[in-house]
Structure 1
């Protein structure tokens, strides 16, 4: 019922938006990705800095039923509508540029085990109707996205993703990040970051209970103090960046560990950072089924894959590729005991070769400055 009413709300607001005057140099960015590798937010920053001749409006969170009429006027007046999730237009004549928010690893839409057929059919029609440009990085990306969303091949353009421009250009130094999050000075420091996927959709309350109690890995053998000591012995520091839903479970939880720190959206919003503007300062990544690892390949740094809920996740939602151990260029662990053993040797030549193999598969675009490529194409193609 809520979904139906929201669609009615959107139709009504789009009708009203027709009474605004569209301007060629107006861009609106509908950002549903927060500050965790948001193509929309980072493209917004790029346009503000490099193209002041364009009027750019950032709308977040999106979608929302609480936007002011002034915001809808700006949406209606935009020639270019940038989206990070479902494509959207308020009126005819607008150009929708679809960034999406990650190379898909988890099943979505048509391919997912936990979606309804009527919803996937509706989404397919919206993609066909509203998306004009779907930015891409590779044939593999296009194949995976089309399998899930039924996107026409003619809509893709291999232009890259804005977030990748910021991976190798951190906004602060590694020493500053260490001081900000850990209040430490350590010239030997290795900073790791743990970014799991959205585990709530596993519909397993025991997982949420473990996370709420401070067991952010939801390991059966979790021991925070033991893990902290293992990190400290190696001059390693772990940033824990959970999904916003899981971070809410930590509302009153403060890390009592010297080498483990929680990164929430408040730090990112307060400093006007996106997470990708900090990732270049990290030395290794830990994740489970999050597609962030495809982007982390650009840094060519070690990745640890946490597999304690792999079987459960494959059954509940599913993955687009497998076997998992073959598509993940890093060391897989399913317990804290295995994780601690891995911390002493994160990398080797065989793993580095696998990372480069997967980077070639997921990135067929030569050169850098993806933001500029996207801007040039969208403004010249529809001039």
Structure 2
């Protein structure tokens, strides 16, 4: 009776697609167990990231490519768009479907016979029982300020053996709570993507120069997506013209752009794709540049190669601020909705502002003053960053990829 009710509510098409999905799920699982009779290949590694070929997994893979691990190891990438991934023609690399919605024998074969499964978002072995000699490492993708609010716990047949973290202090504490696991699973190795902060990053430099030319300062603004703070704040961002903190209206955007022109400074604005559809962002501003993940991907640039080129960061409650601490550059925190955010979403620590070492601004005028301080090289919070850094980062050497491989006993 429940099924009939759902068919009436959602339609026959929903029912057919649901059945197809269940059959596909079953076939993928059966295929995995069939291939499990084969020996495990100790030189085969599977990678996964959300946003194909990105984040911590790609940074680790990139390090291996550049350091001749291809002579000994074979790489398998779980991606959403196999056709696009093949365009890069990476050596010793094959691609499989990331999600279970597509029947993929090649996926089942590699999942069953790879020694290492490394992911930063989605554990692709969660639907099957991993083999005894397989090792699953969760690199994850950030330590933040927000309160931990996990959804309904999904029972996984295989969980990760270890999770990577940035320090044995706040970073480990946060992640073991967020991932709901024993802290003994935590290994303090640092994030591979942060290694880009310690390299020349010619790709990032070239891309930024193509965007801004020879500007005095370039600031990155990465606000938190606020859809989930309050049901009254819709996806369409009807509560303001921009959906941004501090700068609420088109007039204020124009004023900000005029100010940046005068100061020979550019703000690169990386926002959620839903915000990018707002009418205000159909207008092109000379010194406020909208940037998306697609822009980075099209230019073959990783986000952290790009971030490393910024003179300062503007954010609010995003984990990007914690990563940016390693660069020891100014951070502006926009906290105009702090009380509302605390009430509806909450923070990991009650005194969370103590862990935000930068200018904390609450209105447009304070925002401009904070920007001006960066332009004038007035770094007012350097000591605060120095005090907070060890709580989140044990290492500041750009050698996280090397540590991860050493921990996994992956040698050239």
* 8 A contact 2:136–2:160 mirrored in 1: yes
Equivalent positions of 1:11-30 (< 5 A) are 12-20=27-35, 21=38, 22-30=40-48
CA 1:175 to 1:45, structure 2 compared with 1: closer, same or farther past 3 Å? closer
* 8 A contact 1:221–1:336 mirrored in 2: no
Cα distance in 1 between the residues matched to 2:279 and 2:409? 44
Equivalent positions of 1:303-314 (< 5 A) are 303-314=331-342
* 8 A contact 1:102–1:291 mirrored in 2: yes
2:330 is aligned, of 302, 305, 327, to 302
SS in 1 for 2:228: helix
* 8 A contact 1:47–1:54 mirrored in 2: no
* 8 A contact 2:236–2:274 mirrored in 1: no
TM-score (norm 2): 0.78
CA 1:162 to 1:253, structure 2 compared with 1: closer, same or farther past 3 Å? same
Residue of structure 1 in register with 2:57 after alignment: 40
Gaps of 5+ in 2: 1-5, 7-13, 81-97
Residue of structure 1 in register with 2:3 after alignment: none
CA 1:9 to 1:294, structure 2 compared with 1: closer, same or farther past 3 Å? farther
Residue of structure 1 in register with 2:228 after alignment: 201
How big is each residue's C-alpha offset from its partner over 1:172-217, in whole Å with a ceiling of 9 and x where there is no partner? Answer: 37763444223x334xx21100112232222343573359944544
Deviation at 1:359, TM superposition (A): 1.0
Deviation at 1:131, TM superposition (A): 1.3
1:99 is aligned, of 120, 125, 139, to 139
Q: Which moved more, 1:257-266 or 1:7-16?
A: 7-16
Structure 2 residue 107 is the aligned partner of structure 1 residue 71: yes
Deviation at 1:233, TM superposition (A): 1.8
How big is each residue's C-alpha offset from its partner over 1:51-75, in whole Å with a ceiling of 9 and x where there is no partner? Answer: 1021112223454624744334333
SS in 1 for 2:201: coil
SS in 2 for 1:209: coil
1:142 is aligned, of 149, 161, 172, to 172
* 8 A contact 2:138–2:160 mirrored in 1: yes
Residue of structure 2 in register with 1:379 after alignment: 409
Cα distance in 2 between the residues matched to 1:375 and 1:211? 47
Deviation at 1:137, TM superposition (A): 1.8
Equivalent positions of 1:286-301 (< 5 A) are 286-301=314-329
Equivalent positions of 1:113-262 (< 5 A) are 115-116=150-151, 119-120=152-153, 122=154, 126=156, 129-139=158-168, 140-172=170-202, 176-182=206-212, 184-186=213-215, 189-202=216-229, 203-205=231-233, 208-209=236-237, 213-214=241-242, 216-217=244-245, 219-220=247-248, 223-247=252-276, 249=277, 253-262=281-290
Q: Which moved more, 1:38-47 or 1:53-62?
A: 53-62
* 8 A contact 2:25–2:100 mirrored in 1: no
How large is the RMSD of aligned CA atoms in angstroms?
3.1
TM-score (norm 1): 0.84
SS in 2 for 1:301: coil
Cα distance in 1 between the residues matched to 2:354 and 2:50? 31
* 8 A contact 1:170–1:280 mirrored in 2: no
Q: How many equivalent residue pairs?
A: 364
Structure 2 residue 78 is the aligned partner of structure 1 residue 49: no
* 8 A contact 1:105–1:319 mirrored in 2: yes
Deviation at 1:38, TM superposition (A): 0.9
Cα distance in 1 between the residues matched to 2:395 and 2:30? 39
Cα distance in 1 between the residues matched to 2:199 and 2:50? 23
Cα distance in 1 between the residues matched to 2:383 and 2:139? 29
* 8 A contact 1:170–1:281 mirrored in 2: no
Cα distance in 1 between the residues matched to 2:306 and 2:103? 30
CA 1:210 to 1:168, structure 2 compared with 1: closer, same or farther past 3 Å? farther
